[in-house]
Amino acid sequence: MKTYLPNRFIVERDPARCIQCEVCVNQCSFDVNYRDADEDEVRSREENCVGCHRCVLFCPTRALNIRRTPLDYRENANWRPEIIEDIIRQAESGGILLTGMGTDKAHPIYWDRLVLNASQVTNPSIDPLREPMELRTYLGRKPDSLTVEPGSLALKTKLAPQVAIEVPILFSALSYGAVSINVHKSLARAATEMGTLFNTGEGGLHRKLYKYGANTICQVASGRFGVHPDYLNVGRILEIKIGQGAKPGIGGHLPGEKVSAEVAATRMIPKGTDALSPAPQHDIYSIEDLAQLISALKEATNYTKPVSVKIAAVHNAAAIASGIARAGADIIALDGIRGATGAAPKIIRDNVGIPIELAIAAVDTRLRQEGIRNQVSLIAAGGIRNSGDVIKAIALGADAVYIGTAALVALGCTVCQQCHTGKCAWGICTSDLRLTKRINPDIGAQRLVNLLRGWSLEIKEMLGGMGVNALESLRGNRLHLRGVGLTDTELEILGVKMAGA
């Protein structure tokens, strides 16, 4: 069938600079650049280009540039180019449109409508270069009160397991198989160096990475891939994955081509078979089932690890979170509509779920109204782009955040949204050995460490500016936030005042 899809990008090759070295041919995994044998010249099949910039950045003479094809349709606010092209694509394929990464739709980004406070006159700002500034956070269930013996000051209360993180930023679930072993290695090493945690995602943990167990969150998802006693016991925190912000309500599908021998061994499935994660966990059809799985995991690990439950932020997130807390979870991870994925139906990625900012506010408020906020730690995920977003999430009520996309961007990802193709030219979201070696775990870890270090320095500056020297004084402290350009209802749900008020 002849395709009616126009090219998306133009690959501009400056003939004065191009030395015909074929680097771009080798770097492009989307089969764009090639040597035309007849003309003996490097050319491009522009229709395949996804705009990932791999060739641009590796071209030794910087001869390449990628531009959007300036192909104009007649203006139409309703039938926009993307909508037309999605229909064309579907008319030609007859299937669900798949995509990768988080939604690219313009859902309101409340981070950009929230501004932070700073000290002036009546209290001094604190200079983090001169004064201690503490970001340490303990994840886990807290009791309502402590019992301390008078006189001896002996602590009589035994606390549930607590996990300290030195920066309030964890690496979000990225499963081995969806991403390569080198990405996992980079994340694990960076988490270890920065005193935080990385999340295995639902594909298990490669034995080679068990040594990073103290900095690992081991996920248990609906497919139960790679879940066995060693796996459960090696991690620091266990996470039951109920949902994901990019695709609430549906499962996952790792195509057989990505299931290499190593992936197969880790996931405990035959090589080359599709790894299908069912939409629900088939042993959890209700909240009391969740309570059972939580206690089963605790039992299996002898009550040494906090158990987290990750849900996609949906309409009733507040009520669901309350149920999760009461079901015995120690941590609730909320993943908002802008959260990313290795592969998801585009229509679901772009339309299902709610923005994380509103979910954090609603959940934190509800848990406080019910007097159980201290029973769980709250981790927010889904579209955290910089340290400003992190600090706003914490002020709204989160204990910490997960970053996924931002971490991948640190590794080279340009958010080209081709993760589902398995061809990621940056070697991140692929198991093609030719591509995965593009991530060097030493360099990858360094880039991630640098990112977290930069963000934590910025968070310290902002905290000091607000006149506090410990992160817990900002957590849930919405008085340090003000809204700009928000409606009364939005302000009410966020629990913040309008700027100027």
Partner 1 sequence: MIDRDMNKLNNPYNDDKVISACSLFGMMDVSGKVFSGKDIIRAIANMHVRSNGLGGGFAVYGLYPRYADYYAFHLMYMNKQARTETEDLLKENFHMVLAEEIPVNPCIAVSNAPGLWRYFLEPEAASLNGRPADDFVIEKVMQINTCIEGAFVFSSGKNMGVFKGAAYPEDIASYFRLEEYAGYLWTAHGRFPTNTPGWWGGAHPFNILDWTVVHNGEISSYGINRRYLEMFGYACTLQTDTEVIAYAVDLLMRRHKLPLEAAVSVLAPAFWEEIERMPAAKQELHRALRTVYGSLLLNGPFTVIIARQGEMMGLTDRIRLRPLTAATRGDMFFLSSEESAIRLVCPELDRAWIPMGGEPVIARLGGTKVVAEGAVAAAKGAC
Grouping H, G, I as helix, E, B as strand and the rest as coil, residue 181 is: helix
Q: Which of 15, 151, 229, 270 binds partner 1 (CB under 8 A)?
A: 151
Q: Which long-range contacts (CB under 8 A, 24 or more apart) does 61-66 make?
A: 61/17, 61/18, 61/19, 61/21, 62/17, 63/13, 63/14, 63/17, 63/18, 63/19, 64/11, 64/12, 64/13, 64/14, 64/24, 65/11, 65/12, 65/14, 66/9, 66/10, 66/11, 66/12
Q: Which of 65, 125, 292, 414 binds ligand SF4 (CB under 6 A)?
A: 414
Q: Is residue 424 involved in binding ligand SF4 (CB under 6 A)? A: yes
Q: Is residue 110 involved in binding ligand SF4 (CB under 6 A)? A: no
Q: Is residue 476 involved in binding partner 1 (CB under 8 A)? A: yes
Q: Angle, nearest 10°, between helix axes 356-369 and 317-326?
A: 50
Residue span binding partner 1 (CB under 8 A) among the ranges 30-38, 115-123, 171-179, 278-286: 115-123
Q: Which is nearer to partner 1, 37 or 153 (CB)?
A: 153
How many helices (H) and strands (E) the chain has is answered by 15, 21
Q: Is residue 116 involved in binding partner 1 (CB under 8 A)? A: no
Got the DSSP string for 335-378?
E-TT---SSEEHHHHHHSS--HHHHHHHHHHHHHHTT-GGGSEE
Q: Is residue 295 involved in binding partner 1 (CB under 8 A)? A: no
In the chain, the amino acid numbered 273 is T
- Looking at residues 63 to 82 of the shown chain, list those that interact with ligand SF4 (rule: CB under 6 A): 66
Q: Is residue 54 involved in binding partner 1 (CB under 8 A)? A: no
Q: Which of 19, 159, 433, 484 binds partner 1 (CB under 8 A)?
A: 159
Q: Which of 27, 175, 186, 281 binds ligand SF4 (CB under 6 A)?
A: 27
Q: Which is nearer to partner 1, 138 or 210 (CB)?
A: 138
Q: Is residue 416 involved in binding ligand SF4 (CB under 6 A)? A: yes
- Looking at residues 355 to 414 of the shown chain, list those that interact with partner 1 (rule: CB under 8 A): 368, 371, 373-374
Residue 153 CA: distances (Å) to CA of 156, 157, 159, 380: 9, 12, 16, 36
Q: Is residue 177 involved in binding ligand SF4 (CB under 6 A)? A: no
Residue span binding ligand SF4 (CB under 6 A) among the ranges 156-164, 211-219, 414-422, 449-457: 414-422
The C-alpha atoms of residue 174 and residue 343 are separated, in whole angstroms, by 12
Taking Cα atoms as reference points, which of 328, 286, 296 lies closest to residue 309? 328
Q: Is residue 83 involved in binding partner 1 (CB under 8 A)? A: no
Residue with structure tokens 């003000």? 482
Contact partners, residue 147, CB within 8 Å, separation at least 6: 155, 156, 157
Q: Which of 23, 42, 63, 101 binds ligand SF4 (CB under 6 A)?
A: 101
- Looking at residues 433 to 472 of the shown chain, list those that interact with ligand SF4 (rule: CB under 6 A): none
- Looking at residues 415 to 454 of the shown chain, list those that interact with partner 1 (rule: CB under 8 A): none
Q: Is residue 493 involved in binding partner 1 (CB under 8 A)? A: no
Grouping H, G, I as helix, E, B as strand and the rest as coil, residue 105 is: coil
Q: Quick one: which H or E segment has residue 489?
A: helix 488-494
Q: Which of 163, 312, 398, 428 binds ligand SF4 (CB under 6 A)?
A: 428
Nearest-approach distance from CB 123 to ligand SF4, in angstroms = 43
Q: Is residue 146 involved in binding partner 1 (CB under 8 A)? A: yes
The C-alpha atoms of residue 393 and residue 361 are separated, in whole angstroms, by 9
Q: Is residue 155 involved in binding partner 1 (CB under 8 A)? A: yes
Taking Cα atoms as reference points, which of 359, 284, 283 lies closest to residue 314? 359
For residue 177 the two structure tokens come to 């198989």
Measure the CA dihedral 408/410/412/413, to 10°: 40
Q: Is residue 30 involved in binding ligand SF4 (CB under 6 A)? A: yes
Q: Which is nearer to partner 1, 335 or 399 (CB)?
A: 399
Q: Which does 65 bind (CB under 5 to 8 A by kind): ligand SF4, partner 1, none?
A: none
Q: Is residue 132 involved in binding partner 1 (CB under 8 A)? A: yes
Helices (H), 248-345: 261-267, 287-300, 317-326
Q: Which residues bind partner 1 (CB under 8 A)?
A: 119, 122-124, 126, 131-132, 134, 136, 138, 142-143, 145-151, 153-155, 157, 159, 162, 368, 371, 373-374, 466-470, 472-480, 497, 501
* Site residues (vs ligand SF4, CB under 6 A): 11, 27-28, 30, 32-33, 49-55, 66, 100-101, 408, 413-419, 424-426, 428-429
